[in-house]
A = this chain, B = another copy of it.
C-alpha cells in the first residue's frame, strides 16, 4: 500500500473533506451526554451494571447493520488503536483509561461516534469538516432519536437530561468549533480575545479539549452552559461568536498581508523549508510549523501546496498516527525521527503533485 493509500485509510472523513470556512474552521463538533434511566452513572455503577449498559447499546439496531455503525469494545482494542481514536477526536482521552466495559460505536465514515460508559453512559458525537455546527447537530440529533426510541433516557421534566456532571445537565449538549487562528496568534490578539470569549459564556481550549494546551494555533471554542437554553439557542450563540472570531482572524490575515507581507512570506516559507528537510521533530514544533505553512497556503503566499495538506498533517503528525503509519510502537525519540520522515514524504510529494497539476494546467 502506498503512503497515500495508508493515509487515506487512516484519516477520518472530517479531516479529508472540505467544509465551509475551511480557511479558518477545521471542524465542527456536537456532543450529547445521555444516560440510561434507572442505572447509576458510570463513576458509581457496578461492573455488572456497566456491562448491562454495554449490552443494551450493542443490541441497538444502529449497531446491527442499520446505520453503517460498528460496536467496538475498548478492552480488546490494542492501545495504539485507542490512541488513534483519541487523536482523531472520536473518543476522549479519559475513555482510554480503565477500559473495562467501555466501548465506542463508530460509523464507517467516522462522522458519528458514540462513547459507551465514559463519564455518562452514552456520549453521542458528530464531527464535520469546516463550519457546519448545524449539520453536525442535525446528524447527532437524528442518532439521539434512534437511540431514544429504543432506550429510556434519564430525564427530568424540570432539568432535562440528567448527567454525571452537573455542568452537562439539561440539554447535555456541547457544541464546539475547532479554529485555526495563526494570524490572531502572531498579532498577539488572542490574549485579549480569550477573556472576551469567556465572558459571553464560551470556553476556549486546545485541540484536544479540557486541560490540553494550545498547539499549532488551534483552538476549540465551545459552550459552557447546557441548562436554561434550548439546543437551538446554544448552537446559534456559538455560531454567532465563532463567526466573529473567524472574521477577526481573516481581518488579522489581511492586515499581516498589508503591512508585513514580505516577513509573513519569509516566515511561512522557512517553516515549509524546515518541514521539508528536518530529520528529527517533536509534535509541538511540527504543529507550530504546520500552522505557519497552513497560514501561508490559506493567504495565497505558498502556492506549491494544496490547503488540505497542512489541515490533515495537524492530525497525522500526532504520536499514535505516526506509529500507526509506520506500523509499530515506538518511544518518543524514535517517533520524532519517523514523524520527520513522514512529514518530508508528505510535504515533498505534495509539492511535486501540485507542481505536476500546474504543468498540466499550463499544457491544457
Question: A265 vs B340: C-alpha distance in the bound complex, in angstroms?
Answer: 12
Q: Does A100 contact B (CB under 8 A)?
A: no
Please name the residue on chain B nearest to A271 by beta carbon: B277
Which residue of B262, B274, B280, B337 contacts A273 across the interface (Cβ within 8 Å)?
B274
Which residues in window 43-96 of A have CB below 8 A to B?
A: none
Which residue of B269, B276, B280, B337 contacts A278 across the interface (Cβ within 8 Å)?
B269
Q: Does A250 contact B (CB under 8 A)?
A: no
Question: Contact string, A188-206, partner B, CB cutoff 8 A, digits 1/0?
Answer: 0000000000000000000
A340 proximity list for chain B (CB < 8 A): 266
Please name the residue on chain B nearest to A264 by beta carbon: B279
Flag if A273 contacts B277 (CB, 8 Å).
yes
Flag if A272 contacts B277 (CB, 8 Å).
yes
Question: A274 vs B274: C-alpha distance in the bound complex, in angstroms?
Answer: 6
Question: Contact string, A239-279, partner B, CB cutoff 8 A, digits 1/0?
Answer: 00000000000000000000000110110011011111111
Nearest-Cβ distance from residue A336 to partner chain B, whole angstroms: 9
Which residue of B266, B272, B274, B279 contacts A280 across the interface (Cβ within 8 Å)?
B266
Q: List 13 A-B contacts (CB under 8 A).
A: A262-B279, A262-B337, A266-B278, A266-B279, A266-B340, A270-B273, A270-B277, A270-B279, A272-B273, A273-B273, A273-B276, A273-B278, A276-B276
Question: A340 vs B272: C-alpha distance in the bound complex, in angstroms?
Answer: 15
Please name the residue on chain B nearest to A272 by beta carbon: B277
Chain multiplicity (copies) = 2
Question: A272 vs B270: C-alpha distance in the bound complex, in angstroms?
Answer: 10
Which residues in window 326-364 of A have CB below 8 A to B?
A: 337, 340
Please name the residue on chain B nearest to A301 by beta carbon: B279
Question: A275 vs B340: C-alpha distance in the bound complex, in angstroms?
Answer: 18
Extra contacts, 7 of them, besides A262-B337, A269-B277, A269-B279 (Cβ < 8 A), are A262-B280, A263-B280, A265-B279, A266-B340, A269-B278, A272-B273, A273-B278
Nearest-Cβ distance from residue A39 to partner chain B, whole angstroms: 53
Please name the residue on chain B nearest to A280 by beta carbon: B266
Question: A270 vs B344: C-alpha distance in the bound complex, in angstroms?
Answer: 11
Question: A274 vs B272: C-alpha distance in the bound complex, in angstroms?
Answer: 8
Nearest-Cβ distance from residue A49 to partner chain B, whole angstroms: 51
A277 proximity list for chain B (CB < 8 A): 269-270, 272-273, 276
Please name the residue on chain B nearest to A263 by beta carbon: B280
Question: A277 vs B268: C-alpha distance in the bound complex, in angstroms?
Answer: 9
Please name the residue on chain B nearest to A269 by beta carbon: B277
Please name the residue on chain B nearest to A304 by beta carbon: B277
Nearest-Cβ distance from residue A342 to partner chain B, whole angstroms: 15
Flag if A270 contacts B274 (CB, 8 Å).
yes
A274 proximity list for chain B (CB < 8 A): 270, 273-274
Question: A280 vs B273: C-alpha distance in the bound complex, in angstroms?
Answer: 13
Question: A206 vs B340: C-alpha distance in the bound complex, in angstroms?
Answer: 35
A276 proximity list for chain B (CB < 8 A): 273, 276-277
A262 proximity list for chain B (CB < 8 A): 279-280, 337
Please name the residue on chain B nearest to A274 by beta carbon: B273
Which residues in window 139-184 of A have CB below 8 A to B?
A: none
Please name the residue on chain B nearest to A261 by beta carbon: B279
Nearest-Cβ distance from residue A338 to partner chain B, whole angstroms: 12
A279 proximity list for chain B (CB < 8 A): 262, 265-266, 269-270
A278 proximity list for chain B (CB < 8 A): 266, 269-270, 273
